[in-house]
Amino acid sequence: MVTQINHTATRPFNTQHLRDLARRTNFSFTLLLPATRPGADANRQTVLENLLFTMDPSWLARITQALDAHGALGGGPGLALFAGQDFLEIFHAPVTAPLLQPGPAPFLLPLIFNSQVEKDFFVLGVCRKSPRLIHFSDGHCVEEQLPPSIPPSLEEFRGAANRELVPTSQWHEKEELGQYFHRLDVGLRERTRGHRLLLLGVEEDLALYRSHVDPNQLFAGEIRSSVRDLSLSEIAQRAGELAQQEATLASRGHSGRLHEWPDRSRIADELGLIESAAAEGRLQELLVPIWAPGLAHEASLNRAAVETLRHSGDVLAVPGLAAPALALLRY
């Protein structure tokens, strides 16, 4: 019987949440709810009743109350709920099918890849006439004003430069535009601190901007389009797709690194060994396949993932992983 639940507000899921959940005790179940349009016939109340009919009746009431308190009962984005005897954690997640997974540990496999995808960054529309600064957060875009220190166009930058600097005959347009992009980069640093930038614009402008900034602060991919041609919803869709592509490339890079690891005694690809080593806290890094319903060895993979995270190891989901799992041992 559940006596009291302290539930969190719904929020995006990240790798720190994976670690926090893996270290929790007194788990009861994991519940996945797919995205539902508000007012749709198959609303969340019906889905909850169908999933929880074998559970303690108090769970249905408490989860319903929590979702209703956050405006998520009638519909909205996909959700992952992690429930224990004294807590209920709710996260946004790209869930495609409802699922109830009882057990003493969280069912993390469906959310590992999603945790690797950046969900909070800026999109910078790079152009000479009217740059755009757009904040991307959990699939949504909001346009922001440029900081006042940044001239809103190359023309205004040129005017300010002519007043402040001594003109020279070498002041070519490309050099001038490059200096404007440098001013744009410097002026944005305080606002975008701690966030990466995804560039939007035409190829020539993007290449020039990249040549004047630190590449580590930029996504490798970019949105090739005129800065004013795309709506915020179109930018959000393309930015989300590029963030997933970046996560895929990064995870494949980890896989390649482990496949080429020089000390092969520290590499394991046999699932029984991986699971026992994880329980002993011996896994530094664990690679698992991207989860889908019916994934082979699901229970063993999830146990290994939870134990790896519990012992401060890293877990990544890799598309097309050949072995059931691949691990780097600490020793």
Strands 120-125 and 132-137: antiparallel
Q: End of a domain among 107, 135, 167?
A: 107
pLDDT at 5 over 50: no
Higher pLDDT, 122 or 57: 122
Tokens of 80: 């992952």
pLDDT at 277 over 60: yes
Instruction: Kindly state whether residues 190 and 292 are assigned to the same domain.
Output: no
Residue 137 inside a domain? The answer is yes
Instruction: Kindly state whether residues 265 and 246 are assigned to the same domain.
Output: no
Instruction: Kindly state whether residues 24 and 142 are assigned to the same domain.
Output: no
Residue 164 inside a domain? The answer is yes
CB 59 within 8 A of CB 83: yes
Instruction: Kindly state whether residues 162 and 226 are assigned to the same domain.
Output: yes
CB 102 within 8 A of CB 160: no
Read off the amino acid at residue 42.
A
Instruction: Give the helix ranges, DSSP H, for 109-231.
Output: 112-116, 154-164, 173-192, 203-210
Quote the mean pLDDT of the chain.
90
pLDDT at 7 over 70: no
* Closest C-alpha to 45, from 63, 22, 57, 29: 63
Q: Taking residues 105-110, what's their average pLDDT?
A: 96
Lowest model confidence (mean pLDDT) among 71-85, 149-163, 273-287: 149-163
- For residue 207, CA distances in Å to 126, 178, 188, 199, 278 come to 10, 10, 18, 10, 45
Residue 115 inside a domain? The answer is no
Q: For the domain that residue 30 is a member of, what is the CATH number?
A: 3.30.960
Higher pLDDT, 236 or 76: 236
Q: End of a domain among 250, 280, 303?
A: 250
3-state percent breakdown (helix, strand, coil) of the chain, nearest 5: 40, 25, 35
Q: For the chain, what percent of residues have pLDDT higher than 70?
A: 92
Q: For the domain that residue 144 is a member of, what is the CATH number?
A: 3.30.420
Instruction: Kindly state whether residues 141 and 72 are assigned to the same domain.
Output: no
As for how many domains the chain has, the answer is: 3
- For 201-222, the pLDDT digits (tens) are 999 999 999 999 999 999 999 9
Instruction: Kindly state whether residues 89 and 159 are assigned to the same domain.
Output: no
Calculated CA dihedral for residues 189, 191, 193, 194, nearest 10 degrees: -140
- For 158-202, the pLDDT digits (tens) are 877 654 544 444 457 788 899 999 999 999 998 999 899 999 999
Lowest model confidence (mean pLDDT) among 33-47, 48-62, 175-189, 295-309: 33-47
Residue 255 inside a domain? The answer is no
Domain with 54 in it: 6-107
